[in-house]
Amino acid sequence: MRVLREILRQPSALFGFIIILIVAIGALGAPLLAPFNPDEQMFDGLTLEGAPMPPGSPFLLGTDTLGRDLLSRMLFGARTSLLIGLVANGVAVAIGLLVGITAGYMRGFAGNLLMRFTDLMMAFPALLLAIVLAALLKPSLWIVAMVIALVNWVQVARIVYTETRGLVERDFILAERSLGAGHGRILFLHILPHLIPTAIVWGTLGIATTVLLEATLSFLGIGVQPPNPSWGNIIFESQSYFQAAPWLVFFPGAVILLTALAFNLVGDALRDLLDPTQRGRG
């Protein structure tokens, strides 16, 4: 609660928190808030010329190229994008923690081998690697989440490795070892609690990257597949109508931008509060 109060005192973090709250409410309440079925092609959803309807009553954000309500698809798309963001980033943080703690604590040949593999993964452009993996596997919601997790864990692993290396040389760890404490006790009771703030910070910041990466993969046609809506594939389906119906690209693009910005603002605030390396810096 103290951390939440401190975040709400910062205007930028408060703005980000409100945006995240609005998006979360829209995603969770999509079945109740959506005015239409997101997959229903409305009889009056297209003009006489077959063009999408512009924003206005009864379609507040207009319709897409198939006459489906854009607001309804964006609400259900929020569920897809946030679910992938949370799951993919949660798995990425878990993998990064496991690799970083193991390499930092064991050191020696095993630790060096793990970190050289991490460096090898960091050498590949994340987007290019994600495109290759998504193209090799059959795209689906969970496959996309796992692909994103597999390319996003390396930054967490590097940070956790560095912090673990510093922790194992601290006096309280050396004292535990001299008293005969086992590796499990040292790792779970003395090292892991010091890494939780780092995991929270990078977990929050990583959601923004994950949402953007999911939108990029869906925009390229190798992410979440239609008819399941996501913000990225809404833009993908409508890109050819950018000049005739710009709202089809503008609205989902603006939501992606605001959501990524919101998680970055909250993540920066959490880093200032929880990351010990940031304390005292102005």
Residue 49 lies in a domain: no
- Provide the pLDDT for residue 75: 93
State how far the alpha carbon of 128 is from the alpha carbons of 13, 123, 133, 148, 207, in Å. 32, 11, 9, 11, 19
What's the token pair of residue 27?
């995603």
Range(s) of the domain holding residue 169:
72-274
Report yes or no on 210 lying in a domain.
yes
> Per the domain annotation, does 46 fall within a domain?
no
Indicate which CATH number applies to the domain containing 197: 1.10.3720.10
Are the CB atoms for 157 and 96 separated by under 8 Å?
yes
Cα 73 vs. chain centroid, distance in angstroms? 20
Q: Is residue 57 part of a domain?
A: no
Count of C-beta atoms within a 10 Å radius of residue 18: 12
pLDDT at site 262: 92
**Residue 48: its pLDDT value, please?**
67
In contact, 97 and 63? CB cutoff 8 Å: no
Residue 93 maps to a domain: yes
Residue 237 lies in a domain: yes
Spans in the chain with pLDDT lower than 50? 279-282
Q: How many degrees, rounded to 5, is the angle at CA 69 between CA 222 and CA 147?
A: 20
Give residue 1's pLDDT: 65
Specify the number of domains making up the chain.
1
Does the residue 178 lie in any domain?
yes
This prediction has a pTM of: 0.83
Element (DSSP H or E) covering residue 82: helix 70-106
pLDDT, residue 22, reads 93
